[in-house]
Amino acid sequence: MSTDKLVMTFEANTIKHLGVKMYSNMPPALAELIANAYDAGATEVHVRLYDIDNKKVIVEDNGVGMSFDEVNDFFLRIGRNRRDEKQKAPCGRIPTGKKGLGKLALFGIGDTINITTTQGKEVVRFKLDWQEILKCKNRDYEPKFEILPKGKTSKGTKIILTNLKRKTGFPVAEYAESLAKLFNFQDTFVVYLSLNDSKPIKIDNKLKYENIKPEFEWDIQNIVKINDKDYSDKKETSGKIVTTEFPLKANLRGVTLFANGRMVNKPEFFGPSESSHFYSYATGWLNVDFIDNWEEDVISTNRQSIDWENTKTEELRKYIASCISIIERQWRDYRKENKKKKISEKVNINVKDWIGKLPGRVQEQVETIVNLLDDTPELSENTQQKSIQIIHQLIP
C-alpha cells in the first residue's frame, strides 16, 4: 500500500472546455493572443484575417519572442501563473495574464496552429494539432518542432491558425470595435486588424468611443475628492465617465473596469438598481490596476466579470457605486441648467429671470412645473419649449 500513489490526470476535454468552448467567439480569442504579445513586450501586433480561398488567421508581433526552453517551460505549460514565479515581463510591464490558460484560446479559433518564434539567433517553429491532442490519452502531447536558421528579424512571434472553427466570413469592423472595448492599453502598444490584406484598422482607445459625442465628462479623481466615503485604493483609481445628450445604444451603456490594460469586468453600474434614466446616457471606464496585486485572484477566466462575492471586491463595488451616484446627481443638475439655457435661447425668454420676478406662491408653483418638465425625459425639447411659452403667456 505504501508504494501505491494517487494520481490526478487531465484529459483533452480539459483543453476543450477551457479553450474551444470558452473562446468560441473570435474577439475574446483574438484578445488573448493580443495580450500575449503585450506581455512579450511588443509595441505592435498585426492581426490578419483571410476569408477567401484558404481561410486563416495570422497574429504577428515584435515582442521578445521565445527560446526553445521558454517554449517548453513556459508556453506549453497549461495553468502556469507567471506572477507566482515572479517572471518579469519585458519593458517593465506587469503581465496581464495570471492563470496560464489564455493560450488555449488558440483552439477556440482553429484546429491547427503553426508558431514561429525568434529570440536573438534562435528560431523555433512548432505545430499544435487539436486532432493529435485528442489522441493523447494518459500521456503528454509532444508537438512537432524544428530549429531554423536565423532570419531577417531578431525577435518576435508569428502564429498562423488554420482549419478554423468559423465557416462564415469575418465582420472585421465589428471585430475591431469589440477588441477596442476589451483593452485600455497605453500608446506604447498598437494593434492593427486587417481583412484579406486590406488597409488595416488601428485599434486604440479612440476607436472604443468614436461614435459617442459627449455632453458632459467627469474625471473620476475629481469625484473621489468630493466623495465622503473612504476607500483604501481610491487614489489608485483612474478613468472617465461620459454622458451623452441622447440615449446610448444598449451595448454602449455602463462603466467598464480595466486592470493593467485589459478588461476585467464588462460594463455595468455597480448598484442594486439600474432603472434610473441616467443609465441610458452614461458610459465610461475605470482603471483598477491594484486588484491584480491582491493575493486572491478575483477575475473570472473569461475576464467578463469580477467575483463580487468577496470582502475586498464588495468594498470596491460599493465605492464605485457611490462615485456614480455623485455623478448622477451632478448630471441631473447640469442637464437641467443646460435645458433651461437652450429653452431660454429658443423661446427668447430668460426662464431664470422670469421665475425670479414672480410673486412668492406663484413663483414656487411655476418653478415646480418647469422643473417637472425638465425631469420628464419622455417629452421632446420642442414640447418643453411650447409648454414654457404657454405658461409664460398665462403668467407673464
- Widest distance between CA atoms in the chain: 100
Global pTM? 0.82
Does a structural domain hold residue 342? no
SS3 assignment, position 196: coil
Contacts of 85 (CB under 8 A, 6+ apart): none
Count of domains for the chain:
3
Percent of the chain with pLDDT over 90: 45
C-alpha of 311 from chain center:
24
* Residues 361 and 290 reside in one and the same domain: no
Does a structural domain hold residue 7? no
C-alpha of 352 from chain center:
43
Strand (E) or helix (H) holding 238: strand 238-244
Structural domain including 175 reads: 12-208
For 126-141, the pLDDT digits (tens) are 999 988 888 877 678 8
For residue 278, give the DSSP letter. Answer: G
Average pLDDT, the chain: 85
Contact call for residues 241 and 220 (beta carbons, < 8 A): yes
In whole angstroms, how far apart are CA 172 and each of 34, 51, 187, 196, 328? 16, 11, 22, 10, 35
In whole angstroms, how far apart are CA 99 and each of 33, 92, 296? 14, 20, 12
CATH code for the domain in which residue 250 is found: 3.30.230
* Residues 43 and 128 reside in one and the same domain: yes
Contacts of 65 (CB under 8 A, 6+ apart): 40, 117, 118, 119, 155, 156, 157
Does a structural domain hold residue 4? no
CATH code for the domain in which residue 158 is found: 3.30.565.10
Q: Over 90: is that where the pLDDT of 45 sits?
A: yes
Given 193, 208, 223, the domain boundary residue is 208
Alpha-carbon gap, residue 306 to 242, rounded angstroms: 22
End-to-end Cα separation, the chain, in angstroms: 100
Burial class of 101 by CB neighbour count within 10 A (0 to 12, 13 to 18, 19+): buried
Does a structural domain hold residue 343? no
Contact call for residues 109 and 23 (beta carbons, < 8 A): yes
* Residues 200 and 58 reside in one and the same domain: yes
* Residues 352 and 321 reside in one and the same domain: no
Given 208, 223, 257, the domain boundary residue is 208
Q: What pairs with residue 59 in β-bridges?
A: 47, 159
* Residues 189 and 266 reside in one and the same domain: no
* Residues 315 and 223 reside in one and the same domain: yes
* Residues 175 and 246 reside in one and the same domain: no
* Residues 170 and 29 reside in one and the same domain: yes
Contact call for residues 179 and 171 (beta carbons, < 8 A): no
Find which of 143-152, 259-268, 270-279, 341-350 is predicted with most confidence, using mean pLDDT: 259-268
For 32-43, the pLDDT digits (tens) are 999 999 989 999
Location of C-alpha cell 488595416: 200
Q: Over 90: is that where the pLDDT of 372 sits?
A: no
* Residues 148 and 242 reside in one and the same domain: no
Alpha-carbon gap, residue 147 to 170, rounded angstroms: 33
Q: Over 90: is that where the pLDDT of 63 sits?
A: yes
* Residues 222 and 200 reside in one and the same domain: no
CA atoms within 13 A of residue 387's CA, in its CB half-sphere? 16
